[in-house]
Structure 1
Amino acid sequence: MDLKLEVIVLPVADVDRAKDFYTDRLGFRLDADFAVDDGYRVVQLTPPGSECSIIIGTGVSAAAPGSVQGLHLIVTDIEQTVAELTERGVEVEGPFRDATGVFHHPGTESRVPGADPQRRSYGSFAAFTDPDGNGWFLQEVTQRAPGR
């Protein structure tokens, strides 16, 4: 059985503001924008190079705007990506690594400034939020773990 994660629904307060952030600042592709009526609008956006999309809209989530945390965008060069997003007006924290060297803690606990000194895959991170506070991490992966 194949199970593919293809869509994540993000709760936002202002659909147009979020749409502009994801398309203009992050470079996500606009796949669909269906305004059915005043209470129901579905906007699907896909990060460059990703097979998984996000959906924002009106009437698509019961969750509070900004309540989704811990989403990861995988990049091949954390420093270059942080620089590019910063140039596009995105406030990015990092790069950083976790004191454990394994993953990262929530919030800023155990963050060590700077990318992993050996630039090991999966060891360097940066973080940002969308205009509503939905939390994203960038994670540098240059060599996939076996089986990935």
Structure 2
Amino acid sequence: MDMKLEVVVLPVADVDRAKAFYVDRLGFRLDADFPVDEGYRVVQVTPPGSKCSIIFGTAVATAAPGSLHGLHLIVTDIEQAVVALTGRGIEVEGPFRDATGVFHHPGTEHRVPGADPQRRSYGSFAAFADPDGNGWFLQEVTQRAPGR
């Protein structure tokens, strides 16, 4: 049985500000904006090339705005992705790698500046946050295990 992750709910304080950030600044596709009534609004956006969408809005999440951290956007060239986002006015930290050479620790303590020297898949990262403080990572993946 397939189980596909298709939606992540993102807690935000200001729906219009989030929509402008994700659509206008990041370049996510606007899939839907349903202003049901004054107390309920659902906005769905999708990152370029992704099969998983992001939903935010009014009364769609119980988590505090800005409390979601560790979301990953996978890119094939970390340096190019950092240039593209900074060119859109997004403040990006990185590229960096973890001191262990594996994934990354939470926080910034174990970060080593620069992409993985061998540019191994899964080893290079960059980080940014949305206007509410929800934390995102870019992760470079150029080769996946067979069958993936």
2:33 aligned partner = 33
Shift of 1:136: 0.3
Cα distance in 1 between the residues matched to 2:147 and 2:125: 22
CA RMSD of aligned residues (A): 0.6
- Unaligned runs of at least 5 residues, structure 1: none
SS class of match (1:19) = helix
Cα distance in 2 between the residues matched to 1:93 and 1:145: 28
So what's the TM-score if we normalise by structure 1? 0.99
Shift of 1:65: 0.1
SS class of match (2:65) = coil
Cα distance in 2 between the residues matched to 1:25 and 1:143: 28
2:96 counterpart letter in structure 1: F
1:68 aligned partner = 68
Question: What CA deviation, in whole Å up to 9, does each residue of 1:86-129 have, x standing for no partner?
Answer: 01000000000000111100010210000001101110000000
1:53 aligned partner = 53
So what's the TM-score if we normalise by structure 2? 0.99
The answer to whether structure 1 residue 122 and structure 2 residue 115 are counterparts is no
1:89 aligned partner = 89
2:100 aligned partner = 100
2:38 counterpart letter in structure 1: D
Cα distance in 1 between the residues matched to 2:13 and 2:111: 30
SS class of match (1:34) = strand
The answer to whether structure 1 residue 137 and structure 2 residue 132 are counterparts is no
1:42 aligned partner = 42
Cα distance in 1 between the residues matched to 2:56 and 2:81: 24
SS class of match (1:65) = coil
